[in-house]
A and B are shown apart, each in its own frame.
Chain A
Amino acid sequence: MEYVIEMLNITKEFPGIIANDDITLQVRKGEIHALLGENGAGKSTLMSVLFGLYIPEKGTIKVRGKEVKIHNPNDANELGIGMVHQHFKLVHNFTVLENIVLGVETVQGGILRMEDARAKIVNLSKQYNLRIEPDSIIEDISVGMQQRVEILKMLYRENDILIFDEPTAVLTPQEIDELMKIMKRLIEEGKSIIFITHKLNEIKAVADRVSVLRKGKYIGTVDVANTSKEEMSEMMVGRKVIFEITKGEAKIGENVLTVRNLSINSKVHGKSAVNNVSFDLRKGEIMCVAGIEGNGQTELIYALTGLLPVDGGDIYYKGEDITNKSIRYRNSHGISHIPEDRHKHGLVLDYTLSENLVLQTYFMDDFQSKGFIKFKSRLKNAKAMIEQYDIRSGEGPITLARSMSGGNQQKAIVAREVEKNPDLIIAVQPTRGLDVGAIEYIHTQLIKQRDMGRAILLISLELSEVLGISDRVIVMYEGEIVGEVNPKEVTQQELGLYMSGSKRGAGYERKEIAK
């Protein structure tokens, strides 16, 4: 069997941890080889080694059967290895054409000669059916299109070993389908692909074989066709994982949150980021706001939690108008907020776990007396919460939040927000970047909170999450609500149409003529 890439017995250590411990990855020519593992399993490190960003302590790399030393990305590039990073490396105010030739410009006497490059790009775009407009400016085109520019960049450099680092994280379902087709087309043209992901559906859809890493160790390589999703996830996590979220019927109570005609003007482009949004949220239900990133969900949440002033409309919480109440008023009156960005909003990373667990309650009588901190009760509180919510950390309550893993940081936030005994929980992408085990934990918690009669507003980009745990789904597109769907009836494809603005539900038609 001919291998294009062989990474044999790779060991890469960082101070304190072995990121890759004797890992072997063999990629056959012309296959899509998935690399599966939880966060921190060592996938990125392994790819960085292949891409020349890290030099491994032990092990050999063979490309097309020949042993090579890769010291930097240029070496990798010369060997025909290209990578689409999770966060695209594009110059936003350059055209597609300029971005693709950047670094390998064709020049004649010091003057740019774009004609040849343009012809080559148009040809490649046709050959692989990428439908690229070479003169569009990057910031004007969709995320899916930007990703195709990244792919074209690799093709232009005549790379034939292509690494895709979690490429579907930013795409709509339609765009994901498109990407899968492109990947298959690339294989037909003789390219080989390493596909990094932790989404099992996608592996099932396109990959030929999958190598699994867990905690820096190599678990094994299997054929995708003969392996079930359950088996793969067990290899990845090391135990059985429940995929189907079991939840009972929602016992819906009275209104908790009522939003009427809410509008917020965007700070960036002056248009309205949230436009005339109204909805109700009741006790005992999980309502999800679905949508592609940047369609006003962030601003909506900021308005509900008080981080951003509103420009129009009202917010009622348990019948009380809280539109202009302070952040502290809201978070001390039963509104919990699991923020989108746990490092920016959720935690003070240089504070210890015990300090972070009282971030909103430190001023209450339980934790202070006459302005002096009650260290003992703070510690006791931390210990109890660590125990109850299974927050794992190196040094317990005195661990710096910065040194905890992402999953445990999120657990700490969830613990803090749930422990406040809230009536309303606003959870924004609560499982982003977490591994399967932690996702399962967060989902279980949210459903438990729902069953305790709390109202939960969930913002998520992850369609399986949207459909899996919510009782009701409203879709936001360009700051407006474009439809409400029942998660039991709607398909991912249909939801994708709403999210991309191609479809609007009854009662949510455009209101341009009215008013």
Chain B
Amino acid sequence: MNVKKLLNNRSFKSVSASIIAILFGLLIGYIILLISNPAQATRGFIIILNGGFNGGLRGVGNTLHNAMPIILTGLSVGFAFKTGLFNIGASGQFILGAFAAIYIGVKWTFIPVGYLWIVALIGAMIAGGIWGAIVGVLKAFRNVNEVITSIMLNYVGMYLVNFLVVSTVFDLTRNQSLSPLNAYLPRGGLDVLFPLSSANIGIIIAIVIAVIMYIILEKTTFGFELKAVGYNREASRYAGINEKKSIIFSMMIAGALAGLGGGLLYLSDIGKHIEVVDILAAEGFNGIPVALLGLSNPIGIIFSGLFVGHMNMGGFYIQRLRFVPEVINMMISIIIYFSALSLAFKSFIENLSKKLGGRTK
């Protein structure tokens, strides 16, 4: 492979920028470990690098399960971003999706058990989609900044779900939602591959959805329109694209993706319930770094979601050495800071390729 040609490749430049960001993030993370406990730092660092592998196949399965919701919230943020919108409301869309899934799973007993989870997931997507579409409608017709509306709707969504849980599917003794016993996701054979882990069909659904999103964005006229509106709303209008419709669709799809993430996580057979507390769902915000690290590319987001899931598992296992798992959050934040600098890395790589190019002449 010609080095110069490789360095000139646009996608290579982008990916290498992410990788450089990850390396810097890990390096500084190591320094943090050194500061907090010099004696155990190297061991801890190795555990982090090993992530889910520390727990063997079970650990790997848990990595997959950990990655599932953040791949979907990452897709939500990334899809909106590709179409020129910043969706910070994934958290609210996520929790509404989760509630819809639990509600259907608990209450809609008239649907046969084998199909209930599918209906519940569709309900989750619709609920998240509506929550996203509200932002889109306000943006399209009143030009209200989507950052503000989506942030505010996070809180509205959280309190609304708290209220709905208490009034419909409440487990009074535990102060949380009831279990959707008849709607748990099938294991899809992953329990055989990764025994005793939490992995289920959800991760497969997440990956399939990512591929579908990639196809929509890159291969269809619908995606062409959505991206055109994101890049240049005025020029799209000039070209005859209904830019209001596009914005609403973008936000609706973004919301549906986050909602599906909520549905998948809360229909997993691992004792996860909506607790009636005033805390925003963290999975929604974790979608932002996943999307950034994946450069908003749906395929990239699969990998960045797996990477963050892997790191989170590392954070789980370093507790053995009495490190706090929050170290992982710091490392991920640092990686994000560096990926924000990815433009600088990009131009660095461009300069490098130019120098190499000059020398070969």
B-contacting residues of A (Cβ < 8 Å)? 15-16, 305, 307, 326-332, 337, 339, 344-351, 355, 359-360, 362-363, 367-368, 371-373
Contact = CB atoms under 8 A, between A and B. Distances in A.
Contacts of B235: 344-348, 359
A326 B238 contact: no
Contacts of B221: 362-363, 367-368, 371-373
Contact of B224 (A328, A329, A339, A355): A355
B238 A339 contact: yes
A260 B172 CA distance: 72
Contacts of B222: 371
A505 B239 CA distance: 37
A348 to B, nearest CB: 5
Contacts of B239: 327, 331, 359-360
A367 B231 CA distance: 21
Interface string B215-232: 000011110110110011
A253 to B, nearest CB: 27
B238 A372 contact: no
B50 interface: no
B224 A307 contact: no
A373 B231 contact: no
A72 B227 CA distance: 41
A339 B239 CA distance: 11
B14 interface: no
How many B residues touch the partner, as a band? 20 to 34
A360 B225 CA distance: 10
List of 6 A-B pairs having minimum Cβ-Cβ separation, nearest first: A328-B240, A345-B238, A359-B239, A350-B231, A327-B240, A348-B232
Given A348-B228, A348-B231, A351-B228, A332 B238 contact: no
B195 to A, nearest CB: 41
Contacts of A372: 219-221
A61 B239 CA distance: 49
A360 B241 CA distance: 8
B171 interface: no
Nearest to A339: B238
Counting chain B CB atoms within 10 Å of each CB, which of A326, A328, A330, A332 scores highest? A328
A349 B227 CA distance: 12
Contacts of A329: 240
Nearest to A371: B220
B53 to A, nearest CB: 40
A307 B220 contact: no
Nearest to B223: A373
Nearest to B240: A328
A186 B85 CA distance: 53
Given A346-B238, A371-B221, A372-B219, 20 more contacts: A15-B351, A327-B238, A327-B240, A328-B240, A329-B240, A331-B240, A344-B232, A348-B235, A348-B236, A351-B227, A359-B228, A359-B239, A360-B239, A362-B224, A363-B221, A371-B220, A371-B222, A373-B219, A373-B220, A373-B224
Counting chain B CB atoms within 10 Å of each CB, which of A326, A350, A367 scores highest? A350
Contacts of B219: 372-373
30 contacts: A15-B354, A16-B354, A327-B240, A328-B240, A328-B241, A329-B240, A330-B240, A331-B240, A332-B240, A337-B238, A344-B235, A345-B238, A347-B235, A348-B231, A348-B236, A349-B231, A349-B232, A350-B232, A351-B228, A355-B224, A359-B239, A360-B239, A362-B221, A362-B224, A363-B221, A367-B221, A371-B220, A373-B219, A373-B220, A373-B221
A326 B231 contact: no
B240 A307 contact: no
A238 B105 CA distance: 76
Contacts of B187: none
Contact of A307 (B228, B237, B241): B237
B10 to A, nearest CB: 9
B326 interface: no
A351 B221 CA distance: 14
B320 to A, nearest CB: 48
Contacts of A15: 351, 354
B237 A344 contact: no
Contacts of B234: 344-345
Counting chain A CB atoms within 10 Å of each CB, which of B225, B231, B237, B351 scores highest? B231
A351 B237 CA distance: 15
A415 B273 CA distance: 59
A307 B231 contact: no
A332 B240 CA distance: 9
